[in-house]
Amino acid sequence: MKRFFRQYGRLTLALAAVLAFCAVLPLLFQQSRSIETGSWGLSFRTEGQPPAGNASKDALRRYDAVYLGDESQKKIYLTFDAGYENGCTEPILEALAKHNVKAAFFVVGNYIEQNPDLVRRMLREGHIVGNHTYHHYDMSKLSDEASFNQELTSLETLYRETTGENMPRYYRPPQGIYSEKNLEMAQKLGYRTVFWSLAYVDWYQDNQPTDEQAFSKLLPRIHPGAIVLLHSTSQTNARILDTLLTKWEEMGYSFGTLDELYA
């Protein structure tokens, strides 16, 4: 009988060890897995809490890439993608100035060429102007380093000629399409890749969301450390930004810059 209980005890311990390993295995896999090519995506699980991204924070960190700031602080990092200008940037800049919020604008080549005064204003008012590539290509299809580098460095040159300053080394992949090789090449150029943890469908010009639809996405899903992506082409964003910033402030949030996030 004692022998039976000894064998039973050893079997129980072995089974417990196997179950514990199986419970930890998915987490280990998630943290160590490679980053696959695709479009950046998010999974929101709990209102007011950070979502899960396509890749983990640890996997992205290997390439100086982020999608989320410090989750222990109620701080928002506001970013705008600027593919072209349609009259919305000025009211956006005015709302940011009213609240003393410094944002990051990710611009492309034609934006700088056609709107040099707005780009210089962004710089003058303390905003970061980041690299959204020269032509807004699907960068995951540029597998050779020379072609990839040209998309970023040609925009750097145009920015320097326009502003007299060097472009800050922040990169956002067009359409959020990326590959692990892209992240590696951007890192070799000294860039830090910035994804996002909150966005909504605001880019269709012929189907702009109502104010209520915008607030229904941007208020309940805001979370500590949020990197927010908005499009500067959105009439809705230009119209609601002052109120949106006020509402976020009333919820106890403050605003940080990408420089502060990486520091």
Backbone angles phi, psi at 166, to 5 degrees: -80, 140
CA dihedral sign, ordered 32, 192, 225, 214: negative
Whole-angstrom Cα distance, residue 104 to residue 229?
10
Paired tokens of 210: 């109502």
Whole-angstrom Cα distance, residue 137 to residue 100?
33
Backbone angles phi, psi at 132, to 5 degrees: -110, 15
Q: Examine the residue annotation and report whether 132 is marked as an active-site residue of this protein.
A: no
**Inter-residue contact 250 to 222 (CB < 8 Å):** no
Q: Which of 99, 136, 231, 242 is labelled catalytic? A: 231
Whole-angstrom Cα distance, residue 26 to residue 61?
19
**Inter-residue contact 213 to 242 (CB < 8 Å):** no
Paired tokens of 165: 């300053």
Can you spell out the DSSP letters for 27-41? HHHHHHSPPPSEE--
Paired tokens of 21: 């390993």
Helix (H, G, I), strand (E, B) or coil at 79: strand
Whole-angstrom Cα distance, residue 204 to residue 260?
32
Q: Examine the residue annotation and report whether 81 is marked as an active-site residue of this protein.
A: yes
User: Token pair 């000025």 is at which residue?
Assistant: 90
Q: Which of 58, 81, 135, 223 is labelled catalytic? A: 81
- Which residues form the catalytic set? 81, 231
